[in-house]
Amino acid sequence: MEDEIVLTKVTLFEKIALSIQRLIDNEVLKPGDKMPSVRSLSLEQKVSMSTVFQAYYLLEKKGLIEARPRSGYYVRKSFKRNSQEPSATATWKMPINVRVDSLVSDFVKPHAKASVVDLSIAGPSVELLPVAKLNKSIQAVLREHKGKSFQYAFPPGDENLLRQIARLSLHWGGSLAKDEIIVTNGCMEAINICLRAVAKQGDTIAIESPTYYGVLQTIESLGMKVLEITTNPDTGIDVDELEKAIIKTKVAACLFTLNFNNPLGSCMPDSEKKRLVELLAKREIPLIEDDILGDIYFGKSRPKNAKSFDKHGLVLLCSSFSKTVAPGLRVGWTAPGRFKEKVERLKFMTSIAAPTLMQQAVAHFLENGRYDNHLKALRLAYHIQMRKYREAIFKYFPEGTKVTDPQGGHVIWIELPHKVNAIELQDIVLRQGIAILPGSIFSAKKRHENYIRIGYCNQFTPEVENALLIIGKCANNMLIEGN
Amino acid sequence: MEDEIVLTKVTLFEKIALSIQRLIDNEVLKPGDKMPSVRSLSLEQKVSMSTVFQAYYLLEKKGLIEARPRSGYYVRKSFKRNSQEPSATATWKMPINVRVDSLVSDFVKPHAKASVVDLSIAGPSVELLPVAKLNKSIQAVLREHKGKSFQYAFPPGDENLLRQIARLSLHWGGSLAKDEIIVTNGCMEAINICLRAVAKQGDTIAIESPTYYGVLQTIESLGMKVLEITTNPDTGIDVDELEKAIIKTKVAACLFTLNFNNPLGSCMPDSEKKRLVELLAKREIPLIEDDILGDIYFGKSRPKNAKSFDKHGLVLLCSSFSKTVAPGLRVGWTAPGRFKEKVERLKFMTSIAAPTLMQQAVAHFLENGRYDNHLKALRLAYHIQMRKYREAIFKYFPEGTKVTDPQGGHVIWIELPHKVNAIELQDIVLRQGIAILPGSIFSAKKRHENYIRIGYCNQFTPEVENALLIIGKCANNMLIEGN
């Protein structure tokens, strides 16, 4: 077992709330159970009653418990647990060509544009952006750097930003040096370049199933093949399955999102990450690790990433500040291990450099402790929103619907009864101004035809609740019509 | 002949100066010739004496004429003309693989970093950046768009920017609609994506010889081959040679910089551009046109680009604001004709979107007439600097040195006597704190071993003059040692 480094400052009431949350998550405290009274818990835990009140208030905000008048606090009833999670997808036996591009283009953008309530997005809504503080950082660096903010910041990137990114590695149990990092135009460019650095046209890339459609499009555009590996909605890639698959099939690289896979929200236990890295090292297979969501965790501490177990420079860690600070900045980065030189050259050839002012602004934002504070608020907001969305989905969606219980990130993956065709459903709800994503764009095999992805990035407003109600009704109608 | 649309406002004295400059360029007025007296020219041209003075002052600033005390104005002696231009490179008979990448990596960045006087750059120096006005544009859009400046601006890009880019097409005789354009992370990403849209691994791309090393690296990284076509230092690609070459060899696409090729500074006459477009249309060969320097012209009006003659959507025009506004913004664009849908998808897959705030700021900068004013000043500055650099090169470099007379852009291409090895020369002058680029990185065949490229982006200071003196001395020493 590795020691866990917990860098997040957790106040006393948050600590208590987290312990209780774990009890609820593990069903020690079950839906409908009465919570200990504030007085008794205060005595038991040797904390003030006001601390307990704060903890209960937080749990209530997260939608985990509810206050009943003159009766005390109860665990909310509407919770269903892991047994209701979507099933894991089987590993596909052969590498296959990817042909999702036109499907994605048909279903992603036009739908988001035409919608009033956009549940297809997976990035911070305007309310969750640190606009004022970003403005301050921009003003500060414009004053400080003057014309230099408008000149090239050639790869590897702005010195100051590289230092700040290296500093962040403490959060995930790593110890990156600044000269191991290359700044990119977002995480997608990082992944693109890393793929080109370790594999060529015709090569096979092992991926999770389901996986983010952007990754599938990228692999398709590079003329590479994919091998989809079984992924558990809780723990991610099945390392044993992967081992079997890579013995049978020559794989040029793996491309995994171990922390909060999009769309699953799964998180691989750190011990499994270690096993995974060791397995791939034995066979000299590079792992491109997309850790863009690692900082958006709902648990007590940030999960580690595979990079922290990498002793051979075979893990190409990719991330960005698109989901944690703001997507419009287009500031991403990669720590590509032994492939650094090649990746740095490819970065230059692909787009010369990342935008200078944006790099400087992010560096300033990180340097001044703004990142840590912002993240804390962001995680809480997403956690609360997730609970509320999830509850509404259980309430309004057809009997038999299975829903992930994401441990981080910002999307929920929903398995509807078999008779519901998600592409049809998407079309129907769009006509009522609601955008969702159908499951089939998350797999090269176009599986998941009765799945949808819903992002909980927008605040849970009455409009959102109504949208979920409409989606549920439409799905129910499809079931009735189907009979 | 096409009608020329001249959109630049030229004042009277500038007009007179330009006519005189043409006379000097065509050697009607030769070095050492006495200029007409201010009084006589004023009578002749029916303009005030002060207008003539202004015209002479401008020509003097450009280094074309000089005032001699109590004697009047003379055409400067140190000018050598086109007969002294480097020779055109022959078309290579077979497509070849590109292997310049490691050479470029060895010679470009480390040298620039280690230098005190950097003559290897080809982009605006800090003094030439519109820093104050960019700051104003940034402040304005931050106020106006608030959080929206930090959200995604998905492809094709920021609406306002697309409109402004479309408006600019009037300058080059085009009439782009805003929905024909896609914003990219600089021109290099545009070229990269366009290459991937029209060709695949193993395909052959026809390019100019010499050509910008970044383009060679990109083609290399995509596993494509190049066919180098003869290029004249004045008029660019030889269309007849190209025709012969594409009859013999299957070419998937052409990638040309018709306006101010880097490093040649050549400019293809508009009538030849028309021929070129027609020739390629007959054979359905796409032309990726890099017009990043088209706005930095020294003549009376902006040269057209091939896109303005494109009737079949076969020209993929690529450009950016890196050379004309500021490189650190990373705002480029492409108008890829019939390949638009594919290019737009590739843009998404490669890096999702271009930075939002930077797009909004450039749009604001363009909208408010800042671009036109800035360009006018920039062109004048580069033209003046070019003359001064060129003169110093003639003064200090060995007998037999041939120098281009660029009609735009910001680099000079220099052919040294055969015995000078440019890679050695680069190394020697770097030890004295001066960065230049050796010719061999501008060709896949590693030709041009006695060529160097010098950028005139920095102001012509005594330090720059001294640097050129040192380069000249070192080259002379190599000649003596070589004997």
Residue B110 has pLDDT above 80, yes or no: no
State mean pLDDT over B122-141: 94
Tens-digit pLDDT profile for residues B439-471:
999 988 878 999 999 999 999 999 999 999 999
What mean pLDDT is predicted for residues A136-149?
A: 95
Q: Does B318 touch chain A (CB under 8 A)?
A: no
A153 chain-B contacts, CB cut-off 8 A: 328
Q: Which of residues 142-161 of B touch A (CB under 8 A)?
A: 142, 146-154
Q: Is B99 on the interface with A (CB under 8 A)?
A: no
Lowest mean per-residue pLDDT among A15-24, A248-257, A381-390, A394-403: A15-24
Chain A hits for B358, Cβ within 8 Å: 355, 357-358
Answer whether the bond into residue A210 is a cis peptide, omega within 30°.
yes
What's the pLDDT score for residue A8? Answer: 41
Give the gap in angstroms from C-alpha B79 to the nearest C-alpha of chain A.
33
Residue A415 has pLDDT above 80, yes or no: yes
**% residues pLDDT > 90 (chain B):** 70
Is residue A7's pLDDT more than 70?
A: no
Contact (Cβ atoms closer than 8 angstroms) between residue B229 and residue B239: no
Report yes or no: A196 at the B interface, CB cutoff 8 Å.
yes
What's residue B8's pLDDT? 41
Average predicted confidence (pLDDT) for chain B: 90
Contact at CB, A351 and B186, closer than 8 angstroms = yes
The residue among B134, B152, B350, B459 with the most chain A CBs within 10 A of its CB, best to mutate, is B350
What tens digit of pLDDT does each residue of A30-79 get? 788 888 888 878 887 788 888 888 888 888 887 888 888 778 888 887 54
Task: Tell me whether B459 touches chain A (CB under 8 Å).
Answer: no
Task: Tell whether the model's pLDDT for residue A231 goes beyond 60.
Answer: yes
CB contact under 8 A, A326 and B142: no
Q: Note the pLDDT of residue A157.
A: 97
Residues of B in contact with A144 (CB under 8 A): none
Per-residue pLDDT, A70: 77
Q: Which of A351, A358, A458 to mutate to test the interface with B (most CBs of B within 10 A)?
A: A351
User: Could you say which of A135, A188, A349 has the minimum Cβ distance to residue B217?
Assistant: A349
Smallest CA–CA distance, residue A381 to chain B, in Å, is: 18
* Res B111: pLDDT: 61
- State residue A81's pLDDT score: 42
Residues of B in contact with A192 (CB under 8 A): 349-351
Say if A135 is an interface residue toward chain B (CB within 8 Å). Answer: yes
Q: At A483, is the pLDDT very low, low, confident or very high (cuts 50, 70, 90)?
A: low
Q: Which of B153, B186, B328 sits opposite A149 (nearest CB)?
A: B328
In Å, how far is A83's CA from the nearest CA of chain B?
Answer: 36
In chain A, the domains with their CATH numbers are: 12-75 (1.10.10.10), 101-127+373-482 (3.90.1150.10), 131-369 (3.40.640.10)
pLDDT above 90 as % of chain A: 70
**What pLDDT does B10 receive?**
60
Set of chain A residues whose Cβ sits within 8 Å of the Cβ of B151: 123, 126, 129, 326-328
| Minimal-distance CA residue of chain B relative to A346 | B221
Average pLDDT taken over every residue of chain A: 90
CA nearest A343 in B: which residue?
B221
Return residues 322-341 of B near A (CB < 8 Å).
322, 326-330, 341
Residues of A in contact with B352 (CB under 8 A): 186, 188, 214, 322, 327, 330
- The pLDDT, as a whole number, for residue B2 is 37
B204–chain A nearest CA distance, Å = 17
* B351: nearest CB among A101, A188, A353: A188
Q: For A435-470, what is each residue's pLDDT tens digit?
A: 999 999 998 887 899 999 999 999 999 999 999 999
pLDDT category at A85 given cuts 50, 70, 90 is confident
Within 8 A of B149 by CB-CB distance, chain A residues are 328
B125 secondary structure, DSSP code? -
pLDDT band at residue A482, thresholds of 50, 70 and 90?
low
Residue A355 to residue B329, Cβ atoms within 8 A:
yes
Give the pLDDT band (50/70/90) at residue A111. low
Q: What is the ipTM of this complex?
A: 0.85
Write a three-state SS string for B151-187: CCCCCCCCHHHHHHHHHHHHHHCCCCCHHHCEEECHH
Interface of A with B in 379-398 (CB under 8 A): none
Contact A459, A385 (CB under 8 A): yes
pLDDT in tens, A240-267: 999 999 999 999 999 999 999 999 999 9
Q: Which of residues 32-91 of A touch B (CB under 8 A)?
A: none
Residue A302 clears pLDDT 50, i.e. is over it: yes
In this complex, is the C-beta atom of B444 within 8 Å of any C-beta atom belonging to chain A? Answer: no
Cβ separation B192–A149 shorter than 8 A: no
For residue A351, the chain B residues in CB contact (below 8 A) are: 184-186, 188-189, 192, 330, 351
Cross-chain CB nearest to B327 (options A151, A327, A329): A151
In this complex, which of A123, A150, A327 lies closest to B134 when CB atoms are compared?
A150
Q: Which band of pLDDT confidence, cut at 50, 70 and 90, is reported for residue A92? A: low
Q: What proportions of chain B, in percent to the nearest 5, are helix, strand and coil?
A: 50, 15, 35
- B351 and A185 within 8 Å at the Cβ level: the answer is yes
Distance (Å) from the alpha carbon of A197 to chain B's nearest alpha carbon: 9
Say if the Cβ atoms of B354 and A330 lie within 8 Å. yes
The residue of chain A with its CA nearest to that of B346 is A221
Q: Which of B148, B349, B351 is opposite residue A217, by nearest beta carbon?
A: B349
Instruction: Kindly determine whether residue A138 and residue B142, on different chains, have CB atoms separated by under 8 Å.
Output: yes
Res. B5: pLDDT tops 50: no
Q: What is the pLDDT of residue B80?
A: 47
Q: Report the residue from B126, B153, B154 with minimal CB separation from A109.
A: B154
